[in-house]
Structure 1
Amino acid sequence: MSVHTHPETETGTGIDPETDRELAPEVDTEVDDEVLHDSVSLFEGDEGGLEYAQRRALVTLLKQRFISARTHPRDWTVLVEHERLLRSRLNDLFLDLQVDRAREVAWKRQATSETGSRFPTMLYDAAWSREETLVLVHLRDRLRAGLASGDLRVFVDREDVVGYVASFRPAHATDVAGDDKRARNAVASVVKSGLLIPTATDERFEISEAVEPLIPLELLQDLLAALVAANSNEVPAADDPDDLFDDVPDAAGSTTGTTAGTTAGEQ
């Protein structure tokens, strides 16, 4: 069972999945903006109309699942100042910009026409595994609980997450070692996506503030219900769990998925 994160929603630049697969969540570049502030012409024959900082923010939006004030402070500042301009450039690519100013997180999603038809897209399908989905559900729950208790930053231990995933192991499952390995690989995958932020120790992570807006409450409830039903011997009264996981709308506005996706190549 898997959960689509982006039915043509994000995993990189949208140009070459093989190239972008190597990309990890980026940090701000080292280029000195001051050198490039005087002109929007940045190279010979340049017909672009954006300044360097605006272009950099646009590229980051295309390459990453999300940007935030925490992970990309310079790009976030540019986005806040030029949101309408950057939204326009994304719209030209049939992408819609989503901005959560309260949590200081922004992400993109595939635009849908008013008639429901699909636009040409540079995005491709990708899916969270069952274990990755459980990790995301747990992180969202832990994040909300921590923030509700007054924590400004919420942390989680690797073993806590792995234990949560294990709690959903069906009673008939016998491959304990294999299940444990898949759970640990799921944690590593979510770290690579940027939704878990490494700390000084390999066994502890900070939960990104992007988890909550990218996994809305309605989707969380549906995912948990599907997971429980999948592990139950009872026949679900409504949709089959596998169908639910394939069809639940995601926060990125796609028809399948748990999180904002990535353009082809985004991690």
Structure 2
Amino acid sequence: MSSNPDDGDGFWADSTSTAVFPGDTGELDFDERRALTAILKNHYISGADHSAEWKTLMESESSIVRRLNELFLHLHVDREREVAFKRQVIAEDGRKYPTLLRNATYTKEETILMVFLRTRFRSEHVGTTTEVFVDRDELRGAVESYRPANATDHSGDARRADNAIDSLLKSRVLQTTPDPERLRISPVIEVLMPVPRLRELLDWLEQAGTGGQTTAPATEGVEA
């Protein structure tokens, strides 16, 4: 149990209390609240990028899960890859629960990149290789490979590809490196895109071909 911090107004809780501010009736200690906040705030947390929060989650998982369940949220924890993220609870009996998260939908360009990154990560994350990188030009090339042969809006296509890359950076599926043209693929890609989902999106890309839908099938209950 961590010690409770001063709130800036001279407030200190006694050593047996979990209160961290005046009038606080919460039951989680400061570290547990910080971990819970990180899970709610971020698309995901990982042992690599959120070491303190991940450690607390491993020590207090049941307490944190109870709080998420009260918000109709599940917690998905992958201990092997040290990744955790929240999902909306979907009622099996048809009931409608209040929702905090939106269904995740990807543009065609984002879908192409997700499939490309999942395939790259799976092929290169073997043995002692712990990090997998990709260049921006490779990502642009992956998107370009799905453009219609008669496409004429090259500047628009390039903009959409760059927007898709930026979107995956924002959600931290891709992560920056000291080289702005070289990006790291987060291990979360394997958790977000299990094999059945990968196959579903591959089928969708084949059917979408060079036209048709511009957004991929939604993933229910996942923060977009």
TM range (shorter): 0.7 to 0.9
SS of the aligned residue for 2:49 comes to coil
Q: Which residue of 1 aligns with 2:9?
A: none
C-alpha displacement of 1:35: 5.1
SS of the aligned residue for 1:221 comes to helix
Q: Percent identity?
A: 41
Count of residue pairs brought into register by the alignment = 214
CA displacement 1:191-229 (0-9 Å, x = unmatched): 111111111110001110111111111111111121122
Measure, in 2, the Cα distance between the counterparts of 1:243 and 1:202: 28
CA displacement 1:107-156 (0-9 Å, x = unmatched): 11010223132211122345321111111111111111111364111111
C-alpha displacement of 1:106: 0.3
Task: Give the aligned CA root-mean-square deviation in angstroms.
Answer: 2.2
Whether the 8 Å CA contact 1:196–1:205 is kept in 2: the answer is: yes
Mapped pair 1:261 → 2:219: no
Measure, in 2, the Cα distance between the counterparts of 1:244 and 1:46: 44
Q: Which residue of 2 aligns with 1:132?
A: 110
In structure 2, give the amino acid aligned to 1:245: A
Say if 1:142 and 1:207 are closer, same or farther in 2 by CA, change over 3 A. Answer: same
Whether the 8 Å CA contact 2:107–2:214 is kept in 1: the answer is: no
Point out the more displaced range, 36-45 or 194-203: 36-45
Instruction: Considering Cα pairs closer than 8 Å and 6+ residues apart, tell me whether 1 or 2 has the greater RCO.
Output: 1
TM-score of the aligned structures, taking structure 1 as reference length: 0.74
In structure 1, give the amino acid aligned to 2:140: V
Say if 1:232 and 1:116 are closer, same or farther in 2 by CA, change over 3 A. Answer: same
Larger Rg: 2
Residue of 15, 23, 28 corresponding to 1:50: 28
Measure, in 2, the Cα distance between the counterparts of 1:187 and 1:78: 32
Whether the 8 Å CA contact 1:226–1:244 is kept in 2: the answer is: no
Q: Which residue of 2 aligns with 1:73?
A: 51
Measure, in 2, the Cα distance between the counterparts of 1:179 and 1:146: 28
Measure, in 1, the Cα distance between the counterparts of 2:40 and 2:115: 25
Residue of 171, 192, 216 corresponding to 1:245: 216
